[in-house]
C-alpha cells in the first residue's frame, strides 16, 4: 500500500519529466541544424543518431559505476531517456546483423556440427515448451486462442543481441551454458520465420471464417522446408564460390569491398541476422576471415549500441507507473517460468543442472523479435494495442535484467556446485558432442590462460587436473574442467581423447608431464601432444615419451622480458625484433644439435633430420607454436 501511494504521488512529475525528455531529440536536432552551413543538406536520421550517441556518452559511464552495471544496461538506459527517435531503428538493426556475422566468423561449420544436438534438441524443447506453457497460461487468463499462440511464441523468444553480448563481456562464450545458450538462440532465429508466417493465418477473416489446422500445419511445413532448402543451398554453393570471390576482391586491393560483399547475403524469408551468421560461417573457412573481421569491427560496436538504445526506447515510463503491478508480475512470471523450464530440460541433453539453470537465466528475458511479432499481430487484429504496449514494456525491462540474471546464475552455480571428486569427473554423455577438441592437461596458470584463449575463439576444449580446488574454480566459471589423471587411459577416453585433435600438457612437475605424455602417445597416438619442458634434459625425455613438440618454459618469457627492457632503453623496434629473432634462431640451433645427438626432435617440434627440420619450420613457425603451447 505504501509503495502504491508513493507510485501515485510520483506519477505526475515523472510523466512530465518523461514528456520533456521525449521532446529532447527534436529540440537538440533543431539546435544542431542551426549550425549547418546553408546549402549543405544533412539527413534528419543522421542528427537523430548523433543525439543518441551523445546520450550514450553520458548514460553508459554512469551505469557502469553502478553495482553490476554493464555497457548493455548503459545503452538501454540511454534509450529509455529518449523515446521518439525512430528514424535510426532500421539502421540499428544492423548491429544484431554484425554481431551474428562476427560470431559466425569465430565458428566454423565443423564446430557447429558438434552442437546439432543442442540446436535441434535442446533448442526445440526450450522454445516449443516455453511457447506451449505461455500460450496455455494466456488462455486460462482469458486470452482467445490465436492471440495466446502469438503471445506464447513471441515471449518464448530470447534476446540474441543482449544474451550473446553479456556472455562475451563475462568471457563465458566457450562455457557449457554459453554454448547451450547460443544453440538455443540459433534455433529461435529459425523459429521466427515460422512465427511471422503464422500471424497472417491467425488473423480474423472477413465473414467470420476461421483458419483450419491443416492450413496452419501446411504453412509451418512450408516455412521449415523453405528454411532448410535456403540454408542448404547457401552452405553448399557458398563453400564453393566464396573463396574465389574473395580472392578476386583481394586482387583489387580494396578492403572496403570485403565488408560490402558480406552485407549482400540476403535470404528470402529468413532474418538478416541468420543470413549474416551463415555468411560468417562460410567465410570462417577461408583465409580472409581475419581481414573481414577487422573490416567490420568499427561498425559492429557502434550499431549494436544503437540497437540497444532503440530497445530502451520501447519502455514507456508513464505506462509502467500506471500499471506497475501487472508489468512486474509479468516480468517475474516470464523469467521464473522460462528459467525453470530450461533447468528441467537441460539435463536431458547432457547439461548439468547448474549449467542448465545458468543458461535458463540468460534465455529467460524476452527478445528483440518479440517487438516485430507484436507489431505484426496488432496490425493483423490478433492482439489489442493495449496488450501489445504492456508486453513491449515487459520484454524491454526483462532484457535490461539480463546482466543481473547472469551474475545471479554464476553466484547460484558457485553456491550449489558439488565439490566432491565424484561430482567433478565427466558424467556420461557430458562430452559426447565434442569433436576435434583440445585437451588441456593441467589447469594451473598456463592451463587457465589457454582455456581463456580457446573460449574467446570458441574452440572446443576440456581440461584435466588432479587438484580438486583447481577443478572447482574452473567449474565455478562453468568451464569444462574435470578431475582426473591424464596418465589413465580410462580418464582420457572419458573426455573424448579418441575424438580430440591435440593435447597441451602443462603440469607442475616433470614426472607428471612425462606420465601424461606417455599415456597420451601410448593409448591415443592420433593426438598431437604439445608440452612445456622445464629444461633441456626434461625436454629430451618428453620427446622420447612421445611428445610431438616441446617448448622450453624459460626461453619465451626471457625473450619477452628482454624485448621489454630493450624497448625501454630506446632501441628501435626493428632492432629489438632482429635481436630477439637472432637469439631464438641460435638457441634453436643448439637444441637441434642436442636433438641430433639424443635422437629426438627437441625444440618446437623440429625434427632431428635437417630436411625435416626445414619442412617443419615452413609449416609451424617457432613463434606460433610457442604461443600455442606456452
Q: Mean pLDDT across the stretch 212-221?
A: 62
Asked if 54 and 143 sit in the same domain, the reply is: no
Give the pLDDT score at 506: 87
Most confident of 37-46, 527-536, 609-618: 527-536
Asked if 402 and 429 sit in the same domain, the reply is: no
Range(s) of the domain holding residue 376: 89-205+213-416
Q: Which of the four pLDDT bands, split at 50, 70 and 90, describes residue 630?
A: very low
Grid cell at residue 279: 555468411
Give the pLDDT score at 176: 77
Grid cell at residue 323: 500499471
Grid cell at residue 92: 540499428
316 compared with 508, residue with greater pLDDT: 508
Q: Which of the four pLDDT bands, split at 50, 70 and 90, describes residue 146?
A: confident
Note every long-range contact of 467-473, with CB atoms under 8 Å and residues 24 or more positions apart, other chains counting. 467/443, 468/419, 468/421, 468/424, 470/443, 470/444, 471/424, 471/443, 472/417, 472/419, 472/424, 473/443
**Last residue within a domain, chosen from 369, 396, 416:** 416
Instruction: Answer yes or no: is pLDDT of 618 > 60.
Output: no
Contact 255, 230 (CB under 8 A): no
| CA dist., res. 30 & res. 515, Å (int) | 74
Asked if 455 and 565 sit in the same domain, the reply is: no
**Last residue within a domain, chosen from 46, 81, 116:** 81
Instruction: Mean pLDDT check: name the lowest of 103-112, 315-324, 587-596, 597-606.
Output: 597-606
Instruction: Answer yes or no: is pLDDT of 242 > 80.
Output: no
| CA dist., res. 330 & res. 313, Å (int) | 19
Q: Which helix (H) or strand (E) holds 251?
A: helix 213-251
Three-state secondary structure call for residue 549: strand
Grid cell at residue 13: 512529475
Asked if 428 and 570 sit in the same domain, the reply is: no
CATH number at 170 reads 1.20.1530.20
Give the pLDDT score at 129: 93
Give the pLDDT score at 32: 52
pLDDT tens by residue, 41-87 = 555 556 666 666 676 677 667 766 666 556 666 666 666 555 555 55
Residue 537 lies in a domain: no
| CA dist., res. 367 & res. 186, Å (int) | 13
Give the pLDDT score at 628: 34
Asked if 137 and 282 sit in the same domain, the reply is: yes
Residue 603 lies in a domain: yes
Contact partners, residue 107, CB within 8 Å, separation at least 6: 280, 281, 284, 458
Instruction: Answer yes or no: is pLDDT of 524 > 50.
Output: yes
Residue 536 lies in a domain: no
Asked if 99 and 217 sit in the same domain, the reply is: yes
pLDDT tens by residue, 533-580 = 777 677 777 887 888 878 777 666 777 788 888 888 888 888 888 887
Asked if 66 and 162 sit in the same domain, the reply is: no
Give the pLDDT score at 116: 76
Give the pLDDT score at 608: 38
Residue 543 lies in a domain: no
Q: Mean pLDDT across the stretch 593-613?
A: 45
Asked if 135 and 227 sit in the same domain, the reply is: yes
Residue 243 lies in a domain: yes
Grid cell at residue 378: 496488432
Asked if 402 and 434 sit in the same domain, the reply is: no
Residue 508 lies in a domain: no
pLDDT tens by residue, 286-300 = 666 666 666 666 666
Most confident of 44-48, 142-146, 340-344: 340-344
Instruction: Answer yes or no: is pLDDT of 469 > 90.
Output: no
190 compared with 397, residue with greater pLDDT: 397
Give the pLDDT score at 350: 79
Asked if 405 and 431 sit in the same domain, the reply is: no
| CA dist., res. 516 & res. 75, Å (int) | 49
Give the pLDDT score at 210: 54
Instruction: Mean pLDDT check: name the lowest of 102-111, 150-159, 600-609.
Output: 600-609
Residue 276 lies in a domain: yes
Asked if 439 and 406 sit in the same domain, the reply is: no
Instruction: Mean pLDDT check: name the lowest of 163-167, 248-252, 545-549.
Output: 248-252
Residue 507 lies in a domain: no
Asked if 266 and 369 sit in the same domain, the reply is: yes
Cβ of 209: how many Cβ atoms within 10 Å? Answer: 8
Mean pLDDT of the chain: 72
CATH number at 459 reads 3.40.50.720
Domain total of the chain = 4
Q: Which of the four pLDDT bands, split at 50, 70 and 90, describes residue 334?
A: very high
**Last residue within a domain, chosen from 37, 55, 81:** 81
Q: Which of the four pLDDT bands, split at 50, 70 and 90, describes residue 359?
A: very high
Q: Mean pLDDT across the stretch 116-130?
A: 87
Burial class of residue 506 in the structure, from the number of CB atoms within 10 Å of its CB (0-12 exposed, 13-18 middle, 19+ buried): buried
Instruction: Answer yes or no: is pLDDT of 6 > 80.
Output: no
Q: Which of the four pLDDT bands, split at 50, 70 and 90, describes residue 425?
A: low
Q: Which of the four pLDDT bands, split at 50, 70 and 90, describes residue 340?
A: very high
| Start-to-end CA span in the chain (Å) | 62
Burial class of residue 401 in the structure, from the number of CB atoms within 10 Å of its CB (0-12 exposed, 13-18 middle, 19+ buried): middle
Q: Mean pLDDT across the stretch 590-594?
A: 54
Percent of the chain predicted with pLDDT > 90: 9
| CA dist., res. 294 & res. 18, Å (int) | 40
Q: Mean pLDDT across the stretch 97-120?
A: 69
Amino acid at each position: 500500500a505504501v509503495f502504491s501511494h508513493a507510485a501515485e504521488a510520483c506519477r505526475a512529475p515523472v510523466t512530465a519529466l518523461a514528456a520533456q525528455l521525449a521532446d529532447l531529440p527534436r529540440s537538440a536536432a533543431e539546435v544542431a541544424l542551426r549550425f549547418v552551413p546553408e546549402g549543405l543538406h544533412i539527413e534528419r536520421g543522421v542528427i537523430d543518431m548523433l543525439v543518441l550517441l551523445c546520450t550514450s556518452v553520458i548514460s553508459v559511464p554512469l551505469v557502469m559505476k553502478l553495482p553490476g552495471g554493464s555497457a548493455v544496461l548503459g545503452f538501454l538506459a540511454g534509450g529509455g531517456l529518449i523515446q521518439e527517435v525512430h528514424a535510426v531503428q532500421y539502421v540499428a538493426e544492423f548491429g544484431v546483423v554484425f554481431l551474428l556475422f562476427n560470431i559466425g566468423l569465430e565458428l566454423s561449420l565443423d564446430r557447429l556440427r558438434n552442437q546439432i544436438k543442442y540446436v535441434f534438441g535442446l533448442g526445440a524443447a526450450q522454445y516449443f515448451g516455453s511457447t506451449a506453457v505461455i500460450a496455455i497460461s494466456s488462455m486460462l487468463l482469458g486470452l482467445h486462442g490465436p492471440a495466446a499462440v502469438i503471445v506464447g511464441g513471441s515471449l518464448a523468444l530470447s534476446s540474441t543481441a543482449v544474451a550473446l553480448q553479456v556472455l562475451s563481456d563475462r568471457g563465458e562464450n566457450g562455457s557449457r551454458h554459453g554454448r547451450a545458450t547460443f544453440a538455443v538462440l540459433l534455433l529461435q532465429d529459425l523459429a521466427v520465420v515460422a512465427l511471422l508466417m503464422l500471424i497472417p493465418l491467425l488473423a480474423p477473416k472477413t465473414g467470420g471464417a476461421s483458419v483450419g489446422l491443416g492450413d496452419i500445419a501446411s504453412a509451418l511445413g512450408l516455412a521449415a522446408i523453405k528454411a532448410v532448402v535456403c540454408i542448404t543451398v547457401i552452405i553448399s554453393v557458398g563453400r564453393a564460390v566464396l573463396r574465389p570471390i574473395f580472392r578476386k576482391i583481394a586482387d583489387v586491393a580494396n578492403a572496403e569491398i570485403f565488408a560490402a560483399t558480406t552485407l549482400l547475403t540476403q535470404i528470402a524469408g529468413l532474418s538478416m541476422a541468420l543470413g549474416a551468421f551463415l555468411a560468417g560461417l562460410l567465410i570462417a573457412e577461408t583465409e580472409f576471415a581475419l581481414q573481414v573481421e577487422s573490416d567490420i569491427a568499427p561498425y559492429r560496436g557502434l550499431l549494436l549500441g544503437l540497437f540497444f538504445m532503440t530497445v530502451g526506447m520501447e519502455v514507456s515510463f508513464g505506462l509502467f507507473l500506471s500499471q506497475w503491478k501487472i508489468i512486474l508480475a509479468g516480468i517475474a512470471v516470464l523469467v521464473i517460468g522460462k528459467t525453470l523450464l530450461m533447468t528441467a530440460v537441460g539435463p536431458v541433453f547432457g547439461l548439468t543442472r547448474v549449467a542448465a539453470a545458468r543458461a535458463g537465466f540468460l534465455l529467460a528475458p524476452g527478445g528483440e523479435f518479440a517487438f516485430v511479432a507484436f507489431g505484426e499481430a496488432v496490425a493483423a487484429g490478433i492482439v489489442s494495442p493495449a496488450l501489445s504496449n504492456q508486453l513491449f514494456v515487459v520484454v524491454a525491462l526483462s532484457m535490461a535484467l539480463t546482466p543481473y540474471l547472469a551474475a545471479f546464475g554464476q553466484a547460484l552455480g558457485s553456491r550449489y556446485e558439488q565439490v566432491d571428486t565424484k561430482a567433478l569427473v565427466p558424467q556420461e554423455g557430458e562430452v559426447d558432442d565434442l569433436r576435434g577438441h583440445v585437451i588441456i592437461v593441467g589447469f594451473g596458470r598456463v592451463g587457465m590462460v589457454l582455456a581463456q584463449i580457446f573460449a574467446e575463439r570458441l574452440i572446443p576444449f576440456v581440461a584435466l587436473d588432479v587438484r580438486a580446488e583447481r577443478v572447482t574454480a574452473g567449474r565455478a566459471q562453468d568451464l569444462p574442467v574435470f578431475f582426473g589423471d591424464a596418465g589413465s587411459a580410462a580418464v582420457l577416453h572419458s573426455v573424448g581423447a579418441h575424438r580430440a585433435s591435440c593435447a597441451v600438457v602443462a603440469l607442475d612437475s616433470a614426472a607428471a608431464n612425462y606420465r601424461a605424455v606417455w599415456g597420451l602417445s601410448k593409448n591415443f597416438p592420433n593426438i598431437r601432444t604439445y608440452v612445456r619442458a622445464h629444461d633441456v634434459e626434461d625436454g629430451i625425455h618428453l620427446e622420447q615419451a612421445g611428445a610431438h613438440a616441446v617448448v622450453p618454459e624459460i626461453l619465451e618469457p626471457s625473450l619477452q622480458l628482454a624485448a621489454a627492457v630493450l624497448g625501454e632503453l630506446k632501441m628501435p623496434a626493428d632492432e629489438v625484433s632482429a635481436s630477439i629473432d637472432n637469439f631464438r634462431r641460435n638457441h634453436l640451433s643448439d637444441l637441434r644439435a642436442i636433438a641430433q645427438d639424443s635422437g629426438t626432435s627437441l625444440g618446437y617440434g623440429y625434427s632431428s633430420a635437417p630436411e625435416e627440420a626445414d619442412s617443419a619450420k615452413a609449416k609451424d613457425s617457432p613463434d606460433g607454436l610457442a604461443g600455442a603451447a606456452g
